[in-house]
Every structure is written in C-alpha cells, then in structure tokens.
C-alpha cells in the first residue's frame, strides 16, 4: 500500500519533534556551545546528512526550541483571555497551561536564555514575542490587583517570581522521578494562590 502524503507529513513532523527533543536535552545538559550537530546525530543514531534534512543548522534547532517554548506561553495567554472569572482565576489559568507545557518533552528548556546565539533575524523574532508574553503577564497581574483578587504588589516583581518558577522547571524535572507532572502543576498552583491571592479576612 502506497504511503499517503498525510502519512509522510505526519512522519516528518514526528521525526522533527524527535530531533528537537534530543537536541533540547543535549543543549540543556551540555550547553548550546558545547553541543554539535554530530552530537545530536549520534544521539539519534542517524547520519548528519539525515539530520540536515530536518534542520539546516544548530541555530535553526535552537530557534525552533524557542518557538515551541513561546507557544506554551501564548497558549496560556489565550486560555486566560477565554477564562471567565476574576483576574486571579485568569492568571492561574495562564500559569497552569504554561506549566503543562514546561513539564512536556520540550518544555521551556533550561537553555532558552541563550538568545544571543541566534542569528539577528531569528533573535529579533524571539525577543519581540518574549517581550509580548512578558507584557501580557504584567497585565494579567494588574487586572487581578484592580479587581481585588490579587494582593497589591509590583506586577513586574510578581511576574519575575512566577516566570522564575515556570522557566526553571525543565532544569530539574525528571519524568522518571516518581512525581507526576499533573500533581506538580497543581502543587505549584496552590503555592501561587497562597503567594498572589488577596487576603479576604
């Protein structure tokens, strides 16, 4: 039976994801500068020529990792926008979705602070999208402060606290470590509630 175009596209998509996952782990473990395309190809047990069919350079892999990470944040912002309720509820919906991505195969990746290794055009795209996510996070916190469900705080400090938690997840999370990602997400949500919720007493 001939392979359909849909099947080929699906196979290519899954192989690209496998490359990204393997490369992301290597970047996080060894550092971007210390990881070569040879290293990634060896880990995947494929030739470097085959690897180049999916990504033309190491920088292209790093860029795609950034894109995947930012998509989690943007999905969280969209969910917050669609969530009915208070500012705190919207903020928690955003954080829950963002963390669910961070606990995934690619997550936010521990090496995503390495923006300067990207070519100029890629770097400008990443910086612009990250800046927008940061700005929208400020607005969610401000909305909660305004409606009285988030304690009065500096929104930028609150954002740095929340994003520090989310962005550090890939550096320590081990899927084989015995704690389910879903349980950890809810544990963090409980801590965020205690840290951000206004005192109703």
Residue 194 pLDDT > 70:
yes
Q: Indicate the pLDDT class of residue 142, thresholds 50, 70 and 90.
A: very high
Q: Is the pLDDT of residue 201 over 60?
A: no
Q: Which residues have C-beta within 8 Å of that of residue 72, sequence separation ≥ 6?
A: 97, 98, 100, 101, 102, 104, 107, 108
**Bigger pLDDT: 180 vs 97:** 97
pLDDT value at position 166?
A: 86
pLDDT digits (tens, 9 = 90+) for 79-125: 999 999 999 999 999 999 999 888 876 554 555 567 888 999 999 99
Instruction: Give pLDDT tens digits for 55-78.
Output: 999 999 989 988 888 899 999 999
What pLDDT shows up at residue 148? 96
- Residue 170 has what pLDDT? 72
- Going by C-alpha positions, the residue among 164, 61, 173 that lies closest to residue 117 is 61
The pLDDT tens digits of the residues spanning 24-54 come to: 878 877 888 899 999 999 989 999 999 999 9
Cβ neighbours, 10 Å, residue 67: 15
DSSP at 37: H
pLDDT at residue 2 greater than cutoff 70? no
Statement: residue 145 has pLDDT above 90:
yes
User: In angstroms, what CA-CA distances link 174 with 34, 61, 103, 171, 181?
Assistant: 22, 22, 9, 9, 9
Q: What is the mean pLDDT of residues 167-186?
A: 78
The per-residue pLDDT for range 6-26, each reduced to its tens digit, is: 677 888 888 888 888 888 878
CB of 40 closer than 8 Å to CB of 19: yes
């Amino acid at each position: 039976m001939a392979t359909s175009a849909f099947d080929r596209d699906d196979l290519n998509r899954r192989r690209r994801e496998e490359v990204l996952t393997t490369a992301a782990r290597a970047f996080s473990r060894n550092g971007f500068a210390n990881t070569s395309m040879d290293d990634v190809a060896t880990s995947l047990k494929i030739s470097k020529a085959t690897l180049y069919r999916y990504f033309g350079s190491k920088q292209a892999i790093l860029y795609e990792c950034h894109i995947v990470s930012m998509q989690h944040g943007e999905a969280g912002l969209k969910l917050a926008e669609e969530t009915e309720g208070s500012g705190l509820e919207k903020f928690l919906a955003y954080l829950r979705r963002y963390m669910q991505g961070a606990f995934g195969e690619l997550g936010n990746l521990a090496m995503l602070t390495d923006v300067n290794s990207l070519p100029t055009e890629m770097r400008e795209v990443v910086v612009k999208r990250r800046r927008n996510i940061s700005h929208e996070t400020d607005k969610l916190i401000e909305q909660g402060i305004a409606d009285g469900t988030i304690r009065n705080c500096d929104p930028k400090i609150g954002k740095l606290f929340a994003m520090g938690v989310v962005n550090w997840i890939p550096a320590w999370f081990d899927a084989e470590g015995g704690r389910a990602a879903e349980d950890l997400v809810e544990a963090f949500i409980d801590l965020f509630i205690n840290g951000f919720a206004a005192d109703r007493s």
